[in-house]
Amino acid sequence: MKIGFSDSQKKFREEIREWLEKNVPKIPLNSFDTKEGFEEHREWEKKLNSGNWSMVTWPEQYGGRGLNLIEWLIFEEEYYRAKAPARVNQNGVFLLGPTLMEYGSDKQKEKFLSAMATGEHIWSQGWSEPGAGSDMAAIRTTAFKKGDKYIINGQKTWSSRAAFADWTFGLFRSDPESERHKGLSFILVPLDAEGVTVRPIPQLDGEPGFAEIYFDDVEVDVSNLLGGEGEGWSIAMATAGFERGLMLRSPARFQETASKLLSLYFKNKDNLSGSIESKVLQSWLKAEAYALNIYQTASKLMAGKKIGPESSLGKVFWSELDHQMHQTALDILGVSSELEEVVADDVASWIKGYMFSYSGPIYAGTNEIQKNIIAERLLGMPR
Amino acid sequence: MNFTFSEDQEIFRDAFKKYLEANVTPEKIRSGWEDNKPFNQARWQELEELGILQSNLDGKYGGLGLDLVTSCLLVEEMGYYALPEPAAEQIFLSNLLINKSTDIAELIKEKNQFIGVTHSLSPNILFLDNSSKLINLGKDSISIAHSKDINGKKLKSSDPSRDLTNFTSENSDSGLLQTLNDQKSLINNVVTSGMVMSAAILVGLSRKILDLATAYTLDRKQFGKPIGSFQAVKHMLAQAAIEIEFSKATLYRAAYSLDNENPLQKLHAAQAKLQSIDACEMASKNSMQAHGAMGYTWEMDLHIFIRRGWSYKQVWGNKSLLENYIMNQLEKDLPKLGSTYTFI
């Protein structure tokens, strides 16, 4: 055990810090869930890419920097420290990207990876359906093969970023006789294809962060099938693993929030009760505990160990923590906490963040599903 | 950055675990309780023969000189098996004092004897009758006394594995061998070490308490199936598993900081202790609930472990003290405790 950063890691930190200080927009971008903000964020992805910072963990052969997980955590710490824009293409860069590298053909990698890295293709997710939420194997949207096309019919929902995205990836039932996990295929669909209708759904903050996607005899070339036909479930599970895992939930986000919360607390301390103090302290402790756990996990992965259902432990932990931190901030702000446009004390970002924190325990597999996974697969309790 | 254990650390831990599995069973613990002799002298001897007691003692004093991360792993297993003998205290308190102070090393030459350590955060004397000397840590002085000359009133602990004696002003001078002054930084160091030690015990206990509950819920059937198949039961235990998982890395970092004399070692130790308290409380409460009325009996082994947690939560830094300490540090140093400073 040797805990601490090497000289080259420290140097890397300086390098990214310097680039971000020069390049992060001084005025925050509009939300990427508005048309205007979406395009601003696409530009930011392009800018990141120009400095070769958009997909740092991708191997060099795919244009990335081939960063290891520790370097990735450093990158994220600096990214949150610099208050750099949120990643509009996270579905692409962090979820589909690694999936493509593992399961995609050379042609698919060539077609999609660099367009993803530059922000030319922004991706949305197409997993859930009205009748298939936590029970994802209940998917009914079909993609039947006809010649060299798949004909897609049905409906996806809660598709993050789909309101303005260019592409979606998801699971479709390609075998009409199949049931449950079998007969599903992982297919990439351009959202400008004929027969696709996107109906944006405003989220809690009023902006269309997700959408319903209707497929009405949509024709997609068979070359858009990822992996083999009928192998969609296991590929999707790998992708969902990336989502729950550390790639998307680097601890810096929660540590930054905890530090912000502490500052807010110390500023207002004299008027606050002991229960608020205790929650503020818990927030900092848990954000630290999460960071330490992730660094340990990253070290284990780099030493060649695998993580599986363990990622469910973290998902429940960070999502509950995020909610508690924002709730405590609002309790400190009191009557001004509802004022969505007040910049002082970061009121606007606390209330927005609070709304968003309600989604954490739901998306990427609800915390109830995660607890089932923990109980059954880690603790060995019966199904 | 390599936040993993070395092969040697894991091998030593696993070998010790095997010993504990065979030799520290609930039956043996109970038999010590029944005889009113929780300290088993033969087992203490074995711990010495295995090198456990002197594992972190400097080579020049006949120890193995191992690092405190290794010690932490060993003590976590002592927690898991609820070892009654104070081997954890020997490693993290008295060995540390001997390693760090030649004056103390001069005064304590006996091998394989338990050396008690008291402080206002853990004032009651543990296993006085089984110890040869007692080191009392004051505000800035350290006094060393012969145990046999100390007469104190026995105290009954809620954990029968803990033999306690009252340390009062009347017996504080008896058997006094020497008092060392100006020892503030060493005392602070031992207190930090005590926090890490008790945190390690709590993490081990929590793991065991959860393991007992998952095993029980597989076995126990109601409504025609194992109660572990019900989601209400699963989620309770999954929540405990989450708390335990997120206490571990904090603990190992604290042990590492202690071993490397990191300037923030006390903060790290306090964090570890608080996380481990939360984990143990959640594991105890939810595992008891999963056991139903059986868990509430003397006959079921669960309480052997739960009781131990009640004591170790309070000694060497309890919630209130730790929270105050951390909050003060944060108020002083917040700009230097953010995400980019996790490992400074």
A positions 280-309 inside 8 Å of B (CB): 281, 284-286, 288-293, 295-296, 298-300, 303
Query: Confidence band (pLDDT; 50, 70, 90) for A135?
Result: very high
Question: Which of A309-313, B208-212, B228-232 is predicted with the least confidence, judged by mean pLDDT?
Answer: A309-313
Option in A78, A299, A379 nearest B1 (CB): A299
Query: Confidence band (pLDDT; 50, 70, 90) for B111?
Result: confident
Query: Confidence band (pLDDT; 50, 70, 90) for A246?
Result: low
Question: In the predicted model, is pLDDT for residue A243 greater than 70?
Answer: no
Question: In the predicted model, is pLDDT for residue A199 greater than 60?
Answer: yes
Q: pLDDT, tens digit, for every residue of B173-218?
A: 788 999 999 999 999 999 999 999 999 999 999 999 999 999 999 9
> DSSP letters along A157-177, please?
EEEETTTT-SEEEEEEE--TT
Q: Which residues of B touch A382 (CB under 8 A)?
A: 218, 225-226, 228-229
Query: Confidence band (pLDDT; 50, 70, 90) for B170?
Result: confident
What's the mean pLDDT in B220-234? 98
**Cα(B174)–Cα(B167) distance, integer angstroms:** 11
Domains with residue ranges and CATH for chain A? 7-88 (no CATH), 123-235 (2.40.110.10), 249-378 (1.20.140.10)
B252 to A296: CB separation less than 8 angstroms, yes or no? yes
Question: In the predicted model, is pLDDT for residue A180 greater than 70?
Answer: yes
Phi-psi region of B179 (alpha: psi -120 to 50; beta: other; left: phi over 0): beta
Q: What local confidence, expressed as pLDDT, does residue A247 receive?
A: 59
Does residue A294 sit in helix, strand or coil?
helix
Question: In the predicted model, is pLDDT for residue B66 greater than 60?
Answer: yes
Q: Is A18 a catalytic residue?
A: no
Question: In the predicted model, is pLDDT for residue A47 greater than 90?
Answer: yes
Q: What is the CB neighbour count within 10 angstroms for residue A243?
A: 20
Q: Give me the catalytic one of A14, A77, A243, A341.
A: A243
Question: In the predicted model, is pLDDT for residue B50 greater than 90?
Answer: yes
Q: A382 vs A237, A375, B220, CA distance in Å?
A: 21, 8, 12
Q: What local confidence, expressed as pLDDT, does residue A344 receive?
A: 86
B241 to A378: CB separation less than 8 angstroms, yes or no? yes
Q: What local confidence, expressed as pLDDT, does residue B337 receive?
A: 84
What's the mean pLDDT in B284-297? 98
What's the mean pLDDT in A305-321? 91
Q: Which residues of A touch B6 (CB under 8 A)?
A: 1
Question: In the predicted model, is pLDDT for residue A248 greater than 60?
Answer: no
Option in A13, A299, A380 nearest B2 (CB): A299
What's the mean pLDDT in B39-58? 97
What's the mean pLDDT in A102-124? 96
Q: Which residues of A touch B270 (CB under 8 A)?
A: none
- Cβ of residue A378 closer than 8 Å to a chain B Cβ: yes
Query: Confidence band (pLDDT; 50, 70, 90) for A345?
Result: confident
Q: B306 vs A171, B209, B302, B303, CA distance in Å?
A: 47, 7, 6, 5
Question: Which of A248-262, A274-288, A354-368 is predicted with the least confidence, judged by mean pLDDT?
Answer: A248-262
**Cα(A196)–Cα(A215) distance, integer angstroms:** 5
Domains with residue ranges and CATH for chain B? 185-332 (1.20.140.10)
Helices A232-244 and A311-333 sit at what angle, rounded to 10 degrees? 40
